[in-house]
Amino acid sequence: MGNERIVIIGAGVAGATTAYFLSRRGERNVLLLEREKLAGTQSTGRNAAILRTMIPEPLLNRLACQSADFYHNPPNGFSPEPLVDKIGVYLAAGGEHTATLNAWCDNNPDSNVQRGDAAGMYEQVPLLAPGLELVAYKPDDGILDVHSILQGFLRGACHSGTELRLGCEFKGLKTERGRILGVETSEGFIETSKVVAANGGWVAVSELFRGYSLPFAPYRRHLAVTEPLSQVGARWPVVWIVGEEFYFRPESGGLLMSGCDTVKVTPDQGEKTDPDQLEHTAAKASRWLPSLADARIAKAWAGMRTFAPDDMFVVGADPRLDGLFWVAGLGGHGITCAPVIGSIAADWIIDGKSSHPAAAIMAPNRLVD
């Protein structure tokens, strides 16, 4: 452990967890930069807040399950509130999509998923339209308290010396002869030789990284919440319909839902809602919840999910520039997998390597030509 300053760009969940685990390993000279006036207002604060550990990719499934252990049993003092409301999550499929769901379960034999027919789900959610035959159920999954999670990571990091600087925008790296000199910001130049790119969709803006960018792409997804509905049970589980790519969960007396739209955008377009995509979600809702087809939408918004070309996380040291680290391309699973990702990132920054079995697969060198 050294006294050299580490600058983390972005105070969403990727940056906050990295700062937290650096602090757990004794790093006291960490500066967390956030362009917004509040932390977590972008992808972190604009998601569905669902703990869904049943991810089809086996490696990400394992990371999600390991991170869920942290959320179910957080360190003492991490949060005064429970981090997970365990209402359960159903992945459900009908017709030709049952083969897809069976394959997901077969590829993740250690995920402790309960696989069976859909009768139990229909008992819990009687308004669902018929046609779903197979489910994979995780009773301990459910709704994440994203605010408490983010604040727990930030509070823990700052208590150990991390400085959180809000309203400070990253403008670019400053390098010389293959080494980092510091970062240019809206508040001027900050000297450092270690920079962590954890700024969500903005990692895709190549000019910010001046010759050391990676091929990230942000995609927009819409979410909508209905008005309160007497027919909706407050303890309904999360239901995710495989193949149809539609999901919903209870929220504020109504339903939060998404049609899982995926439209490539620039980062500044990530929050802009598209009425056509909201109509697309409404059509799927009418198909699967026909008795709620006339429900009014109380609010709707959009958020970004950022991907690498192979859809795998990018966590670790950039082989082209000493001192540049990436915690990016988390593709909509950032909060679900944050505890493990932050720990692996801290290992890379302090030790130059990580012994975690997933570390080599997520390392940035695979994306460097």
Confidence at 4, pLDDT banded by 50, 70, 90 = confident
Dump pLDDT digits (tens) for 130-183.
999 999 999 999 999 999 999 999 999 999 999 999 999 999 999 998 899 999
Interatomic CA distance for residues 55 and 40, integer angstroms: 23
pTM (predicted TM-score)? 0.96
Partners of 30 in the β-ladder: 6
Any domain includes 77: no
Q: Do both 300 and 153 map to the same domain?
A: no
**Final residue of a structural domain among 291, 307, 323:** 307
Q: Do both 300 and 211 map to the same domain?
A: no
Any domain includes 118: yes
Q: Do both 170 and 185 map to the same domain?
A: yes
Confidence at 369, pLDDT banded by 50, 70, 90 = confident
Q: Do both 208 and 224 map to the same domain?
A: no
Any domain includes 68: no
Instruction: Tokens for 97, please give them.
Output: 């999509």
Q: Do both 277 and 303 map to the same domain?
A: yes
Interatomic CA distance for residues 255 and 297, integer angstroms: 9
Dump pLDDT digits (tens) for 8-45.
999 999 999 999 999 999 999 999 999 999 999 999 99
More confident residue, 340 or 178: 340
How far is it between the farthest Cα atoms of the chain?
65
Dump pLDDT digits (tens) for 344-365.
999 999 999 999 999 999 999 9
Average pLDDT over residues 35-57: 94
Q: Do both 18 and 153 map to the same domain?
A: yes
Identify the CATH number of the domain in which residue 278 sits.
3.30.9.10
Between the two ends of the chain, the Cα-to-Cα distance in Å is: 32
Dump pLDDT digits (tens) for 177-203.
889 999 999 999 999 999 999 999 999
Look at residue 3 in the predicted model and tell me its pLDDT.
65
Q: Do both 317 and 291 map to the same domain?
A: no
**Buried residues in 103-140 as b, exposed as e (16+ CB within 10 A):** ebbeebeebebeeeebeebbeebebbeeebebbbbbeb
Q: How many domains does the chain have?
A: 2
Any domain includes 257: yes
**125: CB partners within 8 A, 6+ apart:** 233, 236, 237, 239
Average pLDDT over residues 282-299: 96
Q: Do both 120 and 178 map to the same domain?
A: no
Strands 324-328 and 194-197: parallel
Please choose, from the candidates 232, 307, 214, 221, the residue with its C-alpha nearest in 3D space to the C-alpha of residue 269. Answer: 221
Any domain includes 102: yes
Distances in whole angstroms, Cα of residue 95 to Cα of each of 101, 131, 134, 241: 11, 8, 9, 12
User: With contact defined as beta carbons under 8 Å apart, do 367 and 314 qualify?
Assistant: yes
Q: Do both 162 and 283 map to the same domain?
A: no
Any domain includes 78: no
Interatomic CA distance for residues 317 and 309, integer angstroms: 18
Q: Do both 223 and 359 map to the same domain?
A: no
Dump pLDDT digits (tens) for 218-250.
999 999 999 999 999 999 999 999 999 999 999
Measure CA 124 to chain center: 28
Domain that includes residue 196, residue range: 6-46+147-216+309-367
Any domain includes 80: no
Identify the CATH number of the domain in which residue 315 sits.
3.50.50.60
Q: Do both 231 and 296 map to the same domain?
A: yes
Dump pLDDT digits (tens) for 73-116.
999 999 999 999 999 999 999 999 999 999 999 999 999 999 99
Q: Do both 182 and 302 map to the same domain?
A: no
Average pLDDT, the chain: 96
**Final residue of a structural domain among 285, 307, 329:** 307
Any domain includes 1: no
Task: Judge residue 159's burial from the number of C-beta atoms within 10 Å of its C-beta, 0-12 exposed, 13-18 middle, 19 or more buried.
Answer: exposed
**Final residue of a structural domain among 307, 323, 349:** 307
